[in-house]
Amino acid sequence: MAIKTYKPVTASLRGLVTVDRSELHKGAPVKKLTQSQTKTGGRDAHGHITGYRVGGGHKQRYRLVDFKRRKFEVEATVERLEYDPNRTAFIALVKYTDGELAYILAPQKLKVGDKIVSGQKVDIKIGNTMPLKNMPVGTIIHNVELVPGKGGQMVRSAGCFAQLIGKDAGYAQLRMSSGEQRMVLGECLATVGSVSNPDNQNVKIGSAGRSRHLGIRPCVRGVVMNPIDHPHGGGEGRTSGGRNPVTPWGKCTKGMKTRKNKKTDRLVMRSRHANKKK
């Protein structure tokens, strides 16, 4: 896919940059592979706002994507590539030899008509899924499981990939896009290739109305608020906040570690913060 720009006929089109989706399917998704979803408006079960800048937007149906890929030794053919409003990556509709249809995450360079398969030992080919222990070192992968049989949980966003850099004591060693190196059980499945739509990082929304159409509400900076509303607020004239960046409740927003899963700390070989200046 390529980047698409527009003639500046209006002010909003001047800065608009989108991804060219001319090669994607233009019709509706397969209805039996979708389900309705209710918008939360950023509220939790108690009605309290827990996610700011959330609300409005176009109605969407959720696509049931097969992240598990546990239909072993059954070949599937790629029927078409589709846009998914619920994620940054594209999805692919595949049809197995027994007639079953399914959606999967579309890797880069996957085309209509390509054959893919899952299994214990299959070819190292884009779109094929197999356990990490059976992959050669150096393979580029995505949709990586953390728990065998649970389905892919890591490396699912547009343009992302991980690399298998080693194997030791039943674990596979992965290098993530963030620079983090971690270990994953060798029995966990992963898909060969990197995730589609790498140009997503170059998209520019271009206008406030387009942002609202995507369900993103406006964001007000803390430095323009009153002291009662935000720790950065107040002051005579324009200020830069006068302190390290914090949330409206005073918690640090830059540099503070948020990882709290001590059970899996031992699996992280190198933190993604290792190369960053303190």
For the chain, give the secondary structure using H, E and C.
CCEEECCCCCHHHHCCEEECCCCCCCCCCCHHHEEECCCCCCECCCCCECCCCECCCCCCEEECECCCCCCECCCEEEEEEECCCCCCCCEEEEEECCCCEEEEECECCCCCCCEECECCCCCCCCCCEEEHHHCCCCCEEECEECCCCCCEEECCCCCCCEEEEEEECCEEEEECCCCCEEEEECCCEEEECCECCHHHHHCECCCHHHHHHCCECCCCCHHHCCCCCCCCCCCCCCCCCCCCCECCCCCECCCCCCCCCHHHHHHEEECCCCCCCC
Q: According to CATH, what is the number of the domain 221-266?
A: 4.10.950.10
- Rounded to two decimals, the pTM is 0.89
User: Which CATH number among 3.10.620.30, 2.40.50.140, 1.10.3720.10, 3.40.47.10 corresponds to the domain 3-200?
Assistant: 2.40.50.140
Going residue by residue through the chain, which has 278 residues, state the pLDDT in tens, using 9 for 90 and above: 689 999 999 999 999 999 999 999 999 999 999 999 999 999 999 999 998 899 999 999 999 999 999 999 999 999 999 999 999 999 999 999 999 999 999 999 999 999 999 999 999 999 999 999 999 999 999 999 999 999 999 999 999 999 999 999 999 999 999 999 999 999 999 999 999 999 999 999 999 999 999 999 999 999 999 999 999 999 999 998 889 999 999 999 888 888 889 999 999 999 888 766 54
User: What residues contact residue 250 under an 8 Å CB cut-off, 6+ apart?
Assistant: 231
Q: Write down the domain spans for the chain.
A: 3-200, 221-266
The reported pLDDT for the residue numbered 278 is 47
Alpha carbons 164 and 150: distance in angstroms, whole number? 20
Question: Do the domains at 3-200 and 221-266 have one common CATH topology?
Answer: no
The reported pLDDT for the residue numbered 86 is 95
